Structure 1
Amino acid sequence: MPRGAGGGSGEGGLVAFAGDLLNRLGDVGVGALVLLETVVPPIPSEVILPYAGYLSREGSLTLVGLILWSTAGSTVGALLLYWLGAALGMRRASRLLARTRLVDEDDLDRGAAWFHRHGAVAVVVGRLVPGVRSLISLPAGADRMHLGLFVLCTAIGSGAWNSALIGLGAALGTQRHLIDPYLDVLDKVVYVALAVAVAVLVVRRRRRRRARIEAAED
């Protein structure tokens, strides 16, 4: 079992910690993380699912279980946002999410525009587009898209996205003998990527705040 896959190597690092955590959570727990990612977009399924697929080659995670539970998590999370949009309407729901500072208003506007241009197709294809994937559910709910059609489109799009990410990780898992020696390097890359992501988020928010202040002054 590789370092980071929940084995007994005892070595530390973020990659090792993530591997231990995912193996302890199991397929259902990974599905719960994906549910959170759907509602709270900064949690990256692009990182969680490939690594879970990678770990599925050994340990407590399984390919079929990961695909089924992650798709179920995506669908339940999308339904929560659908019902929020249906209950509050697009404008109030957008304001509520924007206040949490976890969602950018530009992403909310982009998701709404995508849905209004493409309808049900947007719910399927939008699951493949970062930044739109989660938030497409809000305008669908606000416009009272048929619930059964929404669930079907969400399951198809989310299932395709999750399967691709998990499958990619599983394919990499077949080459562990080539990858494992570089996990220490991967640790450093992950730390740098996290620092860059936080810096970009801070800069974007400051620029948008400055733009709103300037617009108000005009």
Structure 2
Amino acid sequence: MPANLWTMALAMDTAVEEEIVHEYEGFIGWVLNLMVTLGEPGVGVALFIETFFPPMPSEAVLPGAGFLAYDGQMNVWLAIMWATIGCLVGAWGFYAIGALLGRERTMWLVEKTPLLEINDFYKAERFFERFGGMAVLLGRCVPLVRSFISVPAGIERMPLLKFSVYTVIGSAVWNTIWIGLGFVFGPAIKPILVQWSGLISNIVLVVIALLFLWFVVVRVRKILKARAESTPSA
């Protein structure tokens, strides 16, 4: 009898997971599928990817973890913990890039990277010089900045333990807010996701694509204008 009960429990768990996988569509379905397949560590994997691929915003990932916690598919505190670990590991990666390359080679890399401007580097550098550790802590709650603020920290060789503590605190606050929102609003979110997950996923992807396109157009126009001004007129 115990063996039969165990088999039935496993079958029920598998059925629930398959229901989650097939119930939601598009980008949202992919995110939920990743988290259901890997469990709480999947939240960390998603946040690690987001660190190096900012167009996949954490604001679109973390509420999904909170929703799954509301739905009983994961523990909300473990989800927050793994999300913070994913952020920390990603931040270590950018810190290592800054520490290994140093200031001059990082500036050269920024200048040679399409659509990046050396002023971006100077702004991040001044921001870090002005606020120090607080720049790392507060930067974890600012889109795009949370990924790249680690580079000047690495260049300045900020003590790794101090850098890690600030990163963990800032990331934990950010992750708790967004996962908490997904958990609290789970009852209202579920019927919407069941019926409109595909449409919502398409809207999210379109918005991300439009923002990226806007960024590219603005940067290309600035580059062309700078080249035109630097070229002597006939």
TM class, shorter-length = 0.7 to 0.9
Q: Which moved more, 1:79-88 or 1:13-22?
A: 13-22
**Aligned residue number for residue 197 of structure 1:** 211
Q: Is the 8 A contact 1:67 1:159 kept in 2?
A: yes
Q: Evaluate the alpha carbon distance shift between residue 7 and residue 75 of structure 1 in structure 2; reply closer, same or farther with a 3 A threshold.
A: closer
Counting only pairs closer than 5 Å after superposition, residues 58-97 of structure 1 correspond to structure 2 as 58=71, 60-96=73-109
State the number of aligned residues: 216
Shift of 1:104: 6.3
Shift of 1:165: 1.2
Instruction: Measure, in 1, the Cα distance between the counterparts of 2:54 and 2:117.
Output: 10
Instruction: Measure, in 2, the Cα distance between the counterparts of 1:169 and 1:102.
Output: 34
Counting only pairs closer than 5 Å after superposition, residues 1-218 of structure 1 correspond to structure 2 as 6-9=20-23, 12-58=25-71, 60-96=73-109, 99=112, 101=114, 107-176=120-189, 179-180=192-193, 181-217=195-231
Instruction: Measure, in 1, the Cα distance between the counterparts of 2:19 and 2:177.
Output: 21
Shift of 1:128: 1.0
* CA deviation map 1:151-200 (0-9, x unaligned): 11111011111111111111221324553444354234224313312321
TM norm structure 2: 0.78
**What CA RMSD, in Å, does the superposition of the two structures yield over aligned residues?**
2.9
Shift of 1:67: 0.7
Instruction: Measure, in 2, the Cα distance between the counterparts of 1:50 and 1:101.
Output: 33
Please give the secondary structure, in 2, of the residue aligned with 1:144: coil
Extract structure 1 runs of 4+ deviating beyond 6 A. none
Identity score, percent: 36
Q: Evaluate the alpha carbon distance shift between residue 98 and residue 26 of structure 1 in structure 2; reply closer, same or farther with a 3 A threshold.
A: farther
Q: Is the 8 A contact 2:88 2:167 kept in 1?
A: yes
Residue 92 of structure 1 aligns to which amino acid in structure 2?
A: R
Larger radius of gyration: 2
Please give the secondary structure, in 1, of the residue aligned with 2:185: helix
Q: Evaluate the alpha carbon distance shift between residue 170 and residue 186 of structure 1 in structure 2; reply closer, same or farther with a 3 A threshold.
A: same
Q: Evaluate the alpha carbon distance shift between residue 211 and residue 22 of structure 1 in structure 2; reply closer, same or farther with a 3 A threshold.
A: farther
TM norm structure 1: 0.83
Shift of 1:17: 3.4
Residue 201 of structure 2 aligns to which amino acid in structure 1?
A: D
Q: Evaluate the alpha carbon distance shift between residue 129 and residue 103 of structure 1 in structure 2; reply closer, same or farther with a 3 A threshold.
A: farther
